[in-house]
Amino acid sequence: MDTILVTGGAGYIGSHTTLALLEKGYRVVVYDNLSTGQEDAVLPPARLVVGDLEDTERLTRLMQEEQFSAVIHFAAHIVVPESVQQPLKYYSNNTSNTTNLIRLAAAHSIPHFVFSSTAAVYGLPESSPVSEQTQLDPINPYGRSKLMSEWVLEDTAAAQDSLRHCTLRYFNVAGADPQGRLGQSTPNATHLIKVACQAALGKREALAIYGTDYPTFDGTGVRDYIHVSDLADVHVRALEYLEQGGASATLNCGYGHGYSVRQIADTVREVSGVDFPVHETQRREGDPAELIADPGRLQTTFEWQPRYDDVATIVRTALDWERKLDHL
Ligand SMILES: NC(=O)c1ccc[n+]([C@@H]2O[C@H](COP(=O)([O-])OP(=O)(O)OC[C@H]3O[C@@H](n4cnc5c(N)ncnc54)[C@H](O)[C@@H]3O)[C@@H](O)[C@H]2O)c1
Ligand SMILES: O=c1ccn([C@@H]2O[C@H](COP(=O)(O)OP(=O)(O)O[C@H]3O[C@H](CO)[C@@H](O)[C@H](O)[C@H]3O)[C@@H](O)[C@H]2O)c(=O)[nH]1
């Protein structure tokens, strides 16, 4: 069976994808420096190699040792405000290290590369939903560092017939494995659904709503939340698509509809049965009013249908994991 190199496979989305790959019978080697990832998120029989992307000698040895049929590249720094304060940290890890990884994959004739990109490459889009043709105009170093890597990958694949890629632009990823095996474990996470679940469980005093004066139906920010297990499945489909000879493609990953911050807070209240406190505060800098994917290309290219397109299911799985984290 094919062996896949998963960078960042000890992190939130990478660990769920590793599980989905194992369930499909792939062999998986995770390469992760455990900076935000957790060793126990790499479920057996995946092999964990603890190493940094910066260590190109280590990666070279690994590529010589294993016959990888694909790289799925998740490893990155992901905190937008931090990217504004420390841009070089983001350009080094997300652009420079990614460029080195693409160079090594090409040099070792690894034929397929799947890259974690983000809706942040669109910046503050003027229309909604957002298709892949929407203008690319990232407004922070995180989004720019990812867009530059998209271009490096696209240009390298265009110049080298033996390399094909899928670039996946994730919208808002949330939820946890419905069987409770994995979830989002990063301490100090800032993502809305995780924060709201923590407020419901008394791990935080309250949920702050960042802005109530957006031009949305209830004044709060609207996002397209995709369940992490659906997103993991998209990666498996991306590999199958490339294996079947599919052309390189860039695809938005979302469901095509959005929920406001207030709707998420209400859903967490309903699912948890806890009426936790909510404070309305000012907008967070750089937040667009609404970000909703046009998922048409994803659905037609991969013939893909989601399994967990239901906000209560997303919240329930996130809550279950948040409860379980206390006992791990
Ligand atoms: N979470 C989201 O909502 C979201 C949205 C859009 C895009 N993404 C992208 O998805 C990918 C995964 O995000 P996540 O939410 O799972 O984050 P995460 O922090 O949980 O996972 C990142 C993993 O990469 C590892 N890593 C980071 N730098 C490394 C390095 N130099 N060498 C080796 N390992 C390294 C970390 O230890 C961690 O395990 C990222 O590329 C991110 O930009 C995430
Ligand atoms: O405590 C909180 C946290 C968030 N929000 C709001 O909730 C929405 C979602 O915010 P968050 O969960 O922080 O996600 P985003 O800022 O939309 O960014 C996520 O989704 C992007 C793609 O859409 C990715 O690029 C980023 O990496 C990922 O963090 C936004 O309107 C926020 O203003 C709050 O009101 N209170």
User: Would you state the structure tokens that stand for residue 230, as one six-digit string?
Assistant: 């659906």
pLDDT of residue 327: 65
Is position 270 within any domain?
yes
Average pLDDT, stretch 290-314? Answer: 97
Is position 302 within any domain?
no
**Side chain identity at 76, as an amino acid letter?**
A
Is position 11 within any domain?
yes
pLDDT of residue 187: 80
Pairing of the two strands 259-260 and 222-223: antiparallel
User: Would you state the structure tokens that stand for residue 158, as one six-digit string?
Assistant: 């265009």
Output the CA torsion sign for 85, 190, 76, 168. negative
Output the CA torsion sign for 55, 44, 235, 65. positive
d(C-alpha 88, C-alpha 32), whole Å: 20
Q: Is 12 in the pocket of ligand 2 (CB under 6 A)?
A: no
Beta carbons of 114 and 238 less than 8 angstroms apart: yes
Q: Give per-residue pLDDT as tens, 50-108.
A: 999 999 999 999 999 999 999 999 999 999 889 999 999 999 999 999 999 999 999 99
ipTM of the modeled complex: 0.97
Please report the atom of ligand 2 found closest to the CA of residue 170.
22
pLDDT of residue 302: 97
The answer to whether residues 132 and 220 belong to one domain is no
**Three-class HEC string of the chain:** CCEEEEECCCCHHHHHHHHHHHHCCCEEEEEECCCCCCHHHCCCCCEEEECCCCCHHHHHHHHHHCCEEEEEECCCCCCHHHHHHCHHHHHHHHHHHHHHHHHHHHHCCCCEEEEEEEHHHHCCCCCCCECCCCCCCCCCHHHHHHHHHHHHHHHHHHHCCCCEEEEEEECEEECCCCCCCCCCCCCCCCCHHHHHHHHHCCCCCCEEEECCCCCCCCCCCEECEEEHHHHHHHHHHHHHHHHCCCCCEEEEECCCCCEEHHHHHHHHHHHHCCCCCEEEECCCCCCCCEECECCHHHHHHHCCCCCCCCHHHHHHHHHHHHHHHCCC
Confidence class of residue 285 from pLDDT cuts 50, 70 and 90? confident
Is position 299 within any domain?
no
The answer to whether residues 283 and 232 belong to one domain is no
Domain that holds residue 208: 175-224+256-292+307-325
Beta carbons of 29 and 4 less than 8 angstroms apart: yes
Residue 116 Cα, ligand 1 centroid: separation in angstroms?
8
pLDDT of residue 324: 94
Residue 76 Cα, ligand 1 centroid: separation in angstroms?
4
The answer to whether residues 112 and 136 belong to one domain is yes
CB proximity list for 168: less than 8 A, separation 6 or greater: 114, 115, 116, 117, 234, 235, 238, 251, 253
Is position 300 within any domain?
no
Instruction: Report which of residues 9 and 186 the model is more confident about.
Output: 9
Is position 202 within any domain?
yes
Is position 297 within any domain?
no
Average pLDDT, stretch 113-142? Answer: 96
Q: Is 171 in the pocket of ligand 2 (CB under 6 A)?
A: yes
pLDDT of residue 186: 83
Number of domains the chain is built from? 2
Confidence class of residue 13 from pLDDT cuts 50, 70 and 90? very high
Other Cβ atoms less than 10 A from the Cβ of 180: the count is: 12
- From 121, 188, 192, 218, the mutation candidate for ligand 2 (largest count of ligand atoms within 8 A of CB) is 192
The answer to whether residues 141 and 208 belong to one domain is no
User: Would you state the structure tokens that stand for residue 123, as one six-digit string?
Assistant: 């910046």
The answer to whether residues 232 and 215 belong to one domain is no
Residue 232 Cα, ligand 2 centroid: separation in angstroms?
20
Average pLDDT, stretch 255-275? Answer: 98
The answer to whether residues 214 and 287 belong to one domain is yes
Q: Give per-residue pLDDT as tens, 225-245.
A: 999 999 999 999 999 999 999
Average pLDDT, stretch 267-291? Answer: 94
The answer to whether residues 77 and 147 belong to one domain is yes
Is position 42 within any domain?
yes
The answer to whether residues 210 and 264 belong to one domain is yes
- Per the prediction, the chain carries an average pLDDT of 96
**Which residue among 91, 142, 259, 308 is the active-site one?**
142
Looking at the predicted structure, is the pLDDT value of residue 326 above 90?
no
Please report the atom of ligand 2 found closest to the CA of residue 146.
25
Name which residue sits closest to atom 7 of ligand 1, judged by CA: 118
User: Would you state the structure tokens that stand for residue 80, as one six-digit string?
Assistant: 């937008």
142 is catalytic: yes
Please report the atom of ligand 2 found closest to the CA of residue 196.
1
181 φ, ψ to 5°?
-85, -25
Confidence class of residue 328 from pLDDT cuts 50, 70 and 90? low
Please report the atom of ligand 1 found closest to the CA of residue 9.
39
- Which CATH number does the domain housing residue 75 bear? 3.40.50.720
The answer to whether residues 229 and 271 belong to one domain is no
The answer to whether residues 210 and 109 belong to one domain is no
- Which CATH number does the domain housing residue 186 bear? 3.90.25.10
Residue 11 Cα, ligand 1 centroid: separation in angstroms?
6
The answer to whether residues 111 and 17 belong to one domain is yes
The answer to whether residues 21 and 165 belong to one domain is yes
- From 173, 188, 191, the mutation candidate for ligand 2 (largest count of ligand atoms within 8 A of CB) is 191
Looking at the predicted structure, is the pLDDT value of residue 280 above 90?
yes
